[in-house]
Structure 1
Amino acid sequence: MTALPAPLSTWFAARGWALHPHQQAMLDRAAAPATLLIAPTGGGKTLAGFLPSLAELGPAPPPGLHTLYISPLKALTADIRRNLRAPLEGAGLPIRVEDRTGDTGQTARKRQRVDPPHILLTTPESLALLLSYEDAPRMFSTLQRVIVDELHAVAESKRGDQLALLLARLGRLAPGLRRIGLSATVEDPPALARFLAPGTEILLADPGPDPDISMLDTGTPPPWSGGGGRHAIPAILQQVRAHRTTLIFHNTRAQAELFFHDLWLQNEDGLPIAIHHGSLAREQRERVEAAMVEGRLRAVVCTGSLDLGIDWGDVDLVIQVGAPKNVKRLVQRIGRANHRYNAPSKALLVPANRFEVVECQAALDAALARDLDGEPRGSGPRDVLCQHLLIAACAGPFRADDLYAEIRDAAPYHALTRPDFDATLDFVATGGYALRAYDRWQRLKQTGDLWHLRDPRSAALIRQNLGTIIDTETLKVRLKGRFGGTPLGEVEEAFAATLTPGDTFLIGGEVVRYEGLNEMTVEVSRTPGRDPKVAVFNGTKFATSTQLSDRILALLNRPGWPFLPDHTARWLALQRQVSALPRRDRLLVESFPHDGREHLVIYGFAGRNAQQTLGLLVTKQMEDQGLDPLGFVATDYATLVWGLSPVTDAAPLFAAETLRQGLESWLQGNALMKRTFRNVALVAGLIERSHQGRRKTGRQATFSSDILYDTLRKYDPDHLLLQITREEAMRGLIDFARIEDLLARIEGRIDLIRLPRLTPLAAPLFLEPGKVPIHGQGRERLAEAQAQALMAAAGLA
């Protein structure tokens, strides 16, 4: 058995601490080239990842960077630095630990490149910057080990694709580099292990006891629609009073703000509660984090900003308001409660509306069965690859053959073909066929077999624009003051454009009054007690995962529902009696008249994005067939279409080839494609987010990308970035793959049920916001009928 350095062992023993089995196992595997540790939240997995490094560095560490720790969150690096400092200082070990993030000062950044610490804590974005400098080979030449924390969270996005490329580069700079991945919630351990490195060993810790998880009994049924959870506030406050610290999770920032405002108004006991999400000012988030660590808060209303493994004080209850949409996310959030090894986490689920009762029950069942979900990731996107080529060029000249071999060491790009690599390199070097005549996109040149920056001075501008996270167009919000008042956070630029002086909105749980716009900053004043206009914060609206949708369908088709509240069981029983319940192997489509219109309901259970796309494509087919659709609305589970004519044969509406053709024609020139192109162009480096240190406004970036998009569509329709844009749209906002999966699953088995009136399952859809109007023959026919009726009423018919 490998032992810790004596001073550290003594320090542990003095506190009565002993290593958990998986922590000792990590020490024993210190020489393994790559290890993935999967341990429950609170199991000390981060310390387990560092133990081999601490053992190797010992009481007399040699100079130079030994271990690189990579976290998806800046706040997590600061938390880890605090947690490492105690044992190192207590044991008297002279091991330097520093963090390097976007919050690190310029002086410290320069010093770290010249004299790096033994352990450097950073994020994927900061690592990309470090690797873009010419001195990267010297800085990383002593690197022995890299630790990637919350690996599952990074691997699911473009940040993960970029990180895989950066790890491949580190592997070339530091041969023999050993990799450690840490994760708590993994649905496919072998796939995550392959992402980390070929041949990665998987170490599974004891998963610990089952969580104590149930649905909160609010005493009254939830509303038929909506997502805020206001109805449950009295019951939630009762739980907050009964626990030390409660985290109250929401799926979007806007929902969190609204809930916090209502919670505060009903908080008659004056319990200390706060709000935490990514649109708040850093200073405000840090105040909340400090108060949590010190145990001064009874509850925090939060979003995904607190999903990951930061040890926030004495949390003993997690409440999830609204269906979690994803079992893995739910398990991650549950783990924030009783953040200790082998202590059961306690969590309550609060459905925000009637159908979410079913989804919450399905998610609860899956969490107890440890049945995690996750959509399979495709091959690495080429816009990230474009950025990586620019990073490589900033660091110095490279040979195409060498860089291609290095890139294929990254798991997402293992299958990258040489023609695709060469096409990407050509785009980065020249801008592609339609743009190569413009000097600004001539970025690389070839001398012999070496590629290098055409103008070395461009490296600074490239570094300013690195990163795969696309900021939604946001403006800073500050209290109005002589010297720039207290920062409160950010709101979306589109929302700010709707404000006039005197308007009020919510931010950070406060009602503020809009005073004006000053140099791209929204200036506000405090106006307590007024009814606010609601800020539309940027924040992900999750779609229900495929696996969770399948569980919901299975649950619906059980003979009875004794595990569901009576009000929900009665609702489902009535639906079964008057129509049918959706099934996984068949597509249920209902048709009925209501309020002078014909309605069609498609129960696809394909997630919100796919159901929205299905609404667009089906209404186009209805328009072509003369059925005069007027509009539709979509949820995660169904699409409701209304129009002037009944559908008598649903099969032609769902012909796979017809839907695909409809999608192709709809995509042409669609605003969605322009928005997707903008994001791709930002990541690929075609347009800039910042210029000479000044951040461009969203409107400036959008204007530039719109002109480029129209130019490329006209003169170079097969341009690399247009190819990438289409790929991104298909698997992102459109989610057409889930529609194709749905069609393959039902194999043409469509049950069209014609009914005399609306059904119990369809009724809540009529209350959904976000209705999409269809401007076609139906609206023209309706206008003509209204005109004739008016003329008749006036005696002119």
Structure 2
Amino acid sequence: MDLPARLAPFFARRGWSLHRHQAEMLERAEEPALLLIAPTGAGKTLSGFLPTLAELAENPRPGLHTLYVSPLKALAADIRRNLLTPVEELGLPIRIEDRTGDTSQAARRRQRADPPHILLTTPESLALLLSYEDAPRIFEGLSRVVVDEIHALAESKRGDQLFLALSRLQALAPDLRRVGLSATVDDPAEIAHLLARSPDPCAILHADPGERPDLSMLDAGRAPPWAGGAALHAIPAVLEEVRRHRTTLIFHNTRAQAEIFFHNLWLQNDDALPIAIHHGSLSREQRTNVEAAMLRGDLRAIVCTGTLDLGIDWGNVDLVIQMGGPKYVKRLVQRIGRANHRAGVPSKAILVPANRFEVLECVAAIDAALAGDLDGTPRGPGPLDVLCQHILIRACAGPFAADDLYAEIRTAGPYADLARADFEACLDFCATGGYALKAYDRWRRLLLRDGFWQLRDPRAAKRIRMNIGTIEDTGTLSVRLRSGTHLGEVEEYFASTLTPGDTFLIGGQVVRFEGLKEMTVEVTRRPDATPRVGRFGGGKFPTSVALTRRILDLIRQSSPDLPRHTADWLALQARVSRLPRAERMLVETFEAEDRWHAAFWGFAGWNAHQTLGLLLTHRMEAQGLDPLGFVATDYALLVTGLREVEDPGSLLDPRDLREGFETWLQGNAVMKRTFRGVATIAGLIEKNLPGSRKTGRQATFSTDILYDTLVKYDPGHLLLRVTREEAQRGLVDFGRIEEMLSRIQGRLDHVRAPHVTPLAAPLLLERGRVPVEGRGRERLMAEQAARLLEEAGLEDLT
């Protein structure tokens, strides 16, 4: 299809012509749903808006025409700047505005009364708009909704909320057309299913793949260290790359790593190059200042995290550096696309492994990215806590019939198979709070009158609107002695992994975790104990299943792409022991430093191996093997003890592990933490109140009481069911353990080595060892005491 006449001058002045996929978007503009997968720099976002600009240029009309939804407020603002250029240059009568959490109340009121032609927003702001009584008037003329970076939304509860909002929009504007945009979709059919107006199909358009990216692994002049994750050894080589490029984005997987690297990078920045840091824990003002400096081209490098992953057009960026293994190929491809963000120019990225194992991961990730082999995590059905919030949002907008709402919700992709019983359970929760809570007025929010459900008290709408959203708050927790003395703070993630009795270090003191109460980690001093958890400072991203398989293939095939030092390391491992294989588990046992060690090469990710370590050491204690501790990585679990593990297969029985996991989970703080998030999303807990905001301390105090109450009096409560499902999928990642056990089917390669093996040696150097309290440690203490008594000549006096 040719470019519409009103838009042609804009393209002509720039020497542009329509890409094939842009012409197809214009030709197929009337289709009910369309998913465009196009590489970065291919004009993907403009493609989504071309039909809108063409329609409004030829036939301007008042009212809201197109809704644009993105995961980031900054992305909405960036798109607004880019769209205003052709609109103002061509003098088109099109009003474009954004509506996010940063939009003033006055502007929001005006937008409801007089909507712009194009409104750019986020899932949370859209849900809020749909909660008002005048939503039918606002959206009745809506023609198109454009969902940008749809892959990023589809991976979280924000996406579930968005797809529910789309089902509501479709009911208000039956002729609404949906457009999804993304550069990194691992399963196009799945995303198309989520976007489609069920049962209508969703067409999928693939743009030309574009220029092959320029990917390589950094040559730091020497091999990376055997263990660790900071990659500080590479700073001189990284600075040299920064000097050779205009603007470099230096990506890290965690904020803590970014802060450490930025600090050390600055100390070695002898040329005083303008370098900044950008991540989600910084204030909005700081982030905005960094973004403005990037747009002006004032910065040579920005150390950053996922906050700069998505499709904002930073025109001066010509190099991306990924520090450490990317963990997901999809994340790497997304980040690569930030460099040379324009058509016809290849993106350029350099990967920097932090240790020897990450050399394997980086090579595998480069191969996968060049092959277009993206990874992903299978989606489950739409979560019920998000559905509960949606029901409350719908009630704020006015009365509804249950049958109508159920039918409407089933048109949302994640909820296409929603059972009527689950819908009724959510509706009952919204109406009464559930069996154990129905006597309390505060949770009786809906009533049935004349066949229609409505708010029991219309004043509740304000409180519901103040708590719309699915982004769970994270932060720090105070650590206090029972006497009330404040010792410091730890991250919520770290606290959620603790079980009563665990000991850890804080401020140089060894303390014992007693419980989580009122947003406070309550502890007692244990100066005589060895800390069970040696460090804290944020979670780790597990390597994806697909990337793990490629790593195993690299090991098996002895790939020529591997650096010489890594190839020699694997060759030595093959001579001394065995190489891990995908369909079998390699278990190596050996004696070193007067201790027995067992290395379980599960390749199941850090979270799963950490959980497996807790379960296996418990079983080893029961078998009298005297475990002392373990360390987990993405690739393996190394358990240390006083006795040899002679039969590792006996520790890996799936039924016994499941039973042990169930018992462990019951007493772990992860359940209460997960329940808090579920309860907040579902509306059981209100963090924002008129005139004030409930503190994390108050919210956790409330959820602790509610959790204990429901466990005791209503164990089948809807939110407890949701909590249990999420806890198993979340931090503990037991699903990856079961996937690993299913993959190996009991097939073990047990190697009894005479000494530490080449592959296991780096595991002995890893930090984060988790000590185990039990008979093994008691035996060591007894032996140490006996030696001291003997040295003092007191052994005969005992």
TM-score, normalised on structure 1? 0.91
State the 1:344 CA deviation. 1.0
CA deviations 1:288-322 (Å, max 9, x no partner) are 11111111111111111111100012111111110
Answer yes or no: is 1:679 the counterpart of 2:677.
Answer: yes
Which one of 286, 289, 299 corresponds to residue 287 of structure 1? 289
Q: Within 2, Cα distance between the matches of 1:117 and 1:204?
A: 31
Residue 188 of structure 1 corresponds to 187
CA deviations 1:715-736 (Å, max 9, x no partner) are 1111111111110011111222
Return the letter of the residue paired with 2:170. Answer: G
Residue 342 of structure 1 corresponds to 344
Answer yes or no: is 1:645 the counterpart of 2:647.
Answer: no
**Unmatched runs of 5 consecutive residues or more in structure 2:** 479-488, 496-504, 508-519, 521-534
Return the letter of the residue paired with 1:93. Answer: L
Which one of 616, 619, 628 corresponds to residue 618 of structure 1? 616
Where in structure 2 are the equivalents of 1:644-793 lying within 5 Å? 644-793=642-791
Answer yes or no: is 1:24 the counterpart of 2:26.
Answer: no
Does the 8 Å contact 1:362/1:555 carry over to 2?
yes
Q: Within 2, Cα distance between the matches of 1:42 and 1:146?
A: 22
Where in structure 2 are the equivalents of 1:523-538 lying within 5 Å? none
Residue 208 of structure 2 corresponds to 206
Where in structure 2 are the equivalents of 1:383-532 lying within 5 Å? 383-473=385-475
State the 1:11 CA deviation. 2.6
Bigger shift: 324-333 or 692-701? 692-701
Return the letter of the residue paired with 1:364. Answer: I
Answer yes or no: is 1:227 the counterpart of 2:229.
Answer: yes
Does the 8 Å contact 1:474/1:698 carry over to 2?
no
Which one of 283, 304, 307 corresponds to residue 302 of structure 1? 304
Where in structure 2 are the equivalents of 1:4-23 lying within 5 Å? 4=4, 6-23=5-22
Residue 546 of structure 2 corresponds to 547
Q: Within 2, Cα distance between the matches of 1:562 and 1:190?
A: 35
Return the letter of the residue paired with 1:594. Answer: A
Secondary structure of the residue aligned to 2:659 is helix
Which one of 273, 276, 284 corresponds to residue 274 of structure 1? 276
Residue 312 of structure 1 corresponds to 314
Q: Within 1, Cα distance between the matches of 2:335 and 2:376?
A: 16
Residue 158 of structure 1 corresponds to 157
Where in structure 2 are the equivalents of 1:95-114 lying within 5 Å? 95-114=94-113
Q: Within 1, Cα distance between the matches of 2:372 and 2:586?
A: 30
CA distance 1:494–1:354, change in 2 (3 Å): closer
Does the 8 Å contact 2:588/2:750 carry over to 1?
yes
Secondary structure of the residue aligned to 2:599 is strand
Does the 8 Å contact 1:254/1:536 carry over to 2?
no
State the 1:499 CA deviation. 9.9
Q: Within 1, Cα distance between the matches of 2:712 and 2:781?
A: 36
* Count of residue pairs brought into register by the alignment: 748
State the 1:790 CA deviation. 3.5
State the 1:630 CA deviation. 1.9
Q: Within 2, Cα distance between the matches of 1:442 and 1:567?
A: 66
Q: Within 1, Cα distance between the matches of 2:494 and 2:27?
A: 55
Bigger shift: 334-343 or 766-775? 766-775
Residue 581 of structure 1 corresponds to 579
Bigger shift: 690-699 or 172-181? 690-699
**Unmatched runs of 5 consecutive residues or more in structure 1:** 477-489, 501-519, 521-534
CA distance 1:328–1:493, change in 2 (3 Å): closer
CA deviations 1:442-468 (Å, max 9, x no partner) are 111111321111111111111111111
Residue 143 of structure 1 corresponds to 142
State the 1:7 CA deviation. 3.2
Does the 8 Å contact 2:611/2:734 carry over to 1?
yes
Where in structure 2 are the equivalents of 1:61-140 lying within 5 Å? 61-140=60-139
CA deviations 1:157-205 (Å, max 9, x no partner) are 1111111111111110111100000000111111111111141111100
CA distance 1:171–1:598, change in 2 (3 Å): same
Secondary structure of the residue aligned to 1:127 is helix
State the 1:495 CA deviation. 10
Return the letter of the residue paired with 2:203. Answer: E
CA deviations 1:507-545 (Å, max 9, x no partner) are xxxxxxxxxxxxx9xxxxxxxxxxxxxx9876x631100
Which one of 611, 627, 630 corresponds to residue 629 of structure 1? 627
CA distance 1:176–1:536, change in 2 (3 Å): farther
CA deviations 1:351-396 (Å, max 9, x no partner) are 0111101110010111111111001111111111111111111111
CA distance 1:627–1:492, change in 2 (3 Å): closer
Does the 8 Å contact 1:253/1:537 carry over to 2?
no
State the 1:133 CA deviation. 1.0
Q: Within 2, Cα distance between the matches of 1:536 and 1:648?
A: 33
State the 1:262 CA deviation. 1.1
Secondary structure of the residue aligned to 1:7 is coil
Secondary structure of the residue aligned to 2:223 is coil
CA deviations 1:212-256 (Å, max 9, x no partner) are 101010001111112122111111111111111111111111111
TM-score, normalised on structure 2? 0.91
Secondary structure of the residue aligned to 1:339 is coil
Residue 366 of structure 1 corresponds to 368
Q: Within 2, Cα distance between the matches of 1:457 and 1:178?
A: 35
Residue 600 of structure 1 corresponds to 598
Q: Within 2, Cα distance between the matches of 1:302 and 1:752?
A: 42
Q: Within 2, Cα distance between the matches of 1:628 and 1:492?
A: 31
Does the 8 Å contact 2:7/2:54 carry over to 1?
no
Bigger shift: 403-412 or 787-796? 787-796
Return the letter of the residue paired with 1:295. Answer: G
Does the 8 Å contact 2:540/2:607 carry over to 1?
no
Q: Within 1, Cα distance between the matches of 2:74 and 2:150?
A: 16
CA distance 1:663–1:371, change in 2 (3 Å): same
State the 1:348 CA deviation. 0.5
Does the 8 Å contact 2:587/2:748 carry over to 1?
yes
State the 1:474 CA deviation. 5.3
Does the 8 Å contact 2:6/2:54 carry over to 1?
no
CA deviations 1:482-507 (Å, max 9, x no partner) are xxxxxxxx9958999x999xxxxxxx
Return the letter of the residue paired with 2:195. Answer: L
Q: Within 2, Cα distance between the matches of 1:225 and 1:193?
A: 42
Does the 8 Å contact 2:295/2:314 carry over to 1?
yes
State the 1:668 CA deviation. 1.1
Q: Within 2, Cα distance between the matches of 1:494 and 1:179?
A: 37
CA distance 1:743–1:494, change in 2 (3 Å): closer
CA deviations 1:637-682 (Å, max 9, x no partner) are 1111112221111111111111111111111131111111111111
Return the letter of the residue paired with 1:618. Answer: L
Secondary structure of the residue aligned to 2:277 is strand
Q: Within 1, Cα distance between the matches of 2:718 and 2:791?
A: 60
Secondary structure of the residue aligned to 1:53 is helix
Q: Within 1, Cα distance between the matches of 2:477 and 2:120?
A: 29
Q: Within 1, Cα distance between the matches of 2:624 and 2:506?
A: 41
Secondary structure of the residue aligned to 1:593 is strand
State the 1:554 CA deviation. 0.7
Secondary structure of the residue aligned to 2:590 is strand
Could you tell me the percent identity over the aligned residues?
Answer: 69
Q: Within 1, Cα distance between the matches of 2:64 and 2:614?
A: 54
Secondary structure of the residue aligned to 1:752 is strand
Return the letter of the residue paired with 2:724. Answer: R
